Amino acid sequence: MDIKKLIESLSPNEIKILPYIEENIDKICEKSSLDKVSVLRALEYLGDKNIVKISQKKQKIIELGINGTLYRKKQLPERRLLNALGVKRILSLDNLKGYDLSDEELKASIGVLKRKNIIDLKNKKIILKTGGISKKFPEEIFLESLPLNYESLSEKQIEILKSLGNRKDITRIKEEKTIEIEVTKLGKEIISLKIKSNLIEQVTPELLKKDSLWKGKKFRRYNLTAKVPEIYGGKRHFVNQAIDYGRKIWTDMGFQEMTGDMIQSSFWNFDALFTAQDHPVREMQDTFFIAPSKNFEKIFSKAYLVQGTPLGVKGGNLPDKKIVKAVKESHEGNIKGLKTKGWQYSWNEEEAKKLVLRTHTTCLSAKTLAKLKKENLPAKFFALGKCFRNETVDWSHGFEFNQTEGIVIDPNANFRHLLGYLKQFFKKMGFKKVRFRPAYFPYTEPSVEIDAFHPEKKIWLELGGAGIFRPEVVIPLLGENIPVLAWGPGFDRILMDYYKIKDLRELYKNNLTQLRKMKSWITKGHK
């Protein structure tokens, strides 16, 4: 770009600061009557046009801390103690309350004055050893000279700084960035021209009304390739975006959503799913138990909303007696028309009343089956929500995670249908290659583990389990043994792989840089 075109591209603010660009930032602001942000932006534009070169320099500034500011006004504690000694020359350690010294300050003062060989301690008394106490200490002179650039300190000042650093908040080091401006050869030539511009900056309604305002005049040149500040619009958290996409997949496949409470009774979380009452998963090291208080129902039913519905947990009350009796018979091996041994114990109703943070969304499937009417069959339901486990938090474990749950209730459903639903879901989530391995789960038979192939790592990723609900689960809730296809893979693992996140904790960090850069799941081609 030649000089004429370059001049025509200068904005009003660039022209305003041009005569002063050999000054520092503060002087430019003062002389141009522009704020610092406007000046910095104008300098950046001038830098793009090779009129100036801008560099940043970091420097450490030593300044007073909170106690340092106080001591500069009131004097250092050792000076105050010395002033008191100058009058009496001997002070009792038991009688220092009137000298405005805290215990901590007194100890520090005695230590400093002893090191300087000014005092001595005998029989719990402080004795002044020498005169000439009016002379300022190096520490006092140093504090009076602050703030200072760390690089300008002498060796003696550095020793004083280290000594004061052992005491609480007398000094502190602050890192500052200074902007250095170097005017180029082109810049000096531009400055010498003393530019005044009458170019039109923008098209306004007033400009269009009068021909005289624009006829015969030129518009300022704009650099359409210049960098502009990035604008980050508001958007939902990327985990929530992915969850919404997962919901859309299930609804597109004809499923209805199940929602429910994060706090559940052990009955729905464990017993209704044929989990034995002495199973290790029901112990404190695996599950978060909730102890209901007198105000429990009032607090959780009105103050909190989960997935759009009140928690409404009634202190661990059990459901309809008919369902409770059927679940009890299932556990004890007494289901009519079904040969089952159950768990070979006497089922405890009080154990079932214990409240827990749900360990899986499968409790919603159990509740849905209990409410389902036979005339509504066949039916398909899904859930996608938070679950909680008492895990030690590390890169691969968290105490909360998202799970996607699904059930299909159909007299004609079979195992092949189950695999078909899962293949279709994971295909839509971006996993083209899925395999199934035989597995065992307490409440499904047959059962499978779901693995998806990772094309880059060339490994199979374990995503979760699925199967057909056992009769011991279905009969107590539905009243008869109808095939119920069920699955409940973890959703967060799918997200980790897709977003290239190696540490599970990064999913919920408040890292603004990460959140701004994360793209929407759908815009990345998952359809």
Phi, psi of 107 (to 5 degrees): -60, -45
Query: Strand 90-92 vs strand 355-357: parallel, antiparallel, or unpaired?
Result: unpaired
More confident residue, 18 or 87: 18
Cα–Cα dist 494/75, whole Å: 63
Counting every residue written for the chain, the total comes to: 527
pLDDT band at 331 (very low <50, low <70, confident <90, very high): very high
> Tens digits of per-residue pLDDT, 247-280?
999 999 999 999 998 999 999 999 999 999 998 8
CA distances from 448 to 279, 405, 441, 445 (A): 21, 15, 9, 9
Cα–Cα dist 507/486, whole Å: 27
Helix (H, G, I), strand (E, B) or coil at 8: helix
Cα–Cα dist 168/518, whole Å: 43
Cα–Cα dist 120/505, whole Å: 57
Phi, psi of 18 (to 5 degrees): -55, -45
> Tens digits of per-residue pLDDT, 27-55?
999 999 999 999 998 998 899 889 999 98
Of the candidates 326, 344, 343, the one whose C-alpha atom is nearest the C-alpha of residue 335 is 326
- DSSP 8-state secondary structure symbol assigned to residue 447: E
Q: Is the pLDDT of residue 305 over 70?
A: no
pLDDT band at 294 (very low <50, low <70, confident <90, very high): low
What does the pLDDT read at residue 522?
A: 56
What does the pLDDT read at residue 145?
A: 92
> Tens digits of per-residue pLDDT, 85-117?
877 788 887 776 666 788 888 888 888 888 888
Q: What mean pLDDT do residues 69-81 have?
A: 89
- DSSP 8-state secondary structure symbol assigned to residue 258: P
Average pLDDT along the chain: 85
pTM: 0.60
Q: Is the pLDDT of residue 16 over 60?
A: yes
Element (H, E) at 382: strand 379-388
Of the candidates 18, 153, 5, 137, the one whose C-alpha atom is nearest the C-alpha of residue 78 is 137
- In contact, 485 and 468? CB cutoff 8 Å: yes
- Domains parsed from the chain with CATH numbers: 239-524 (3.30.930.10)
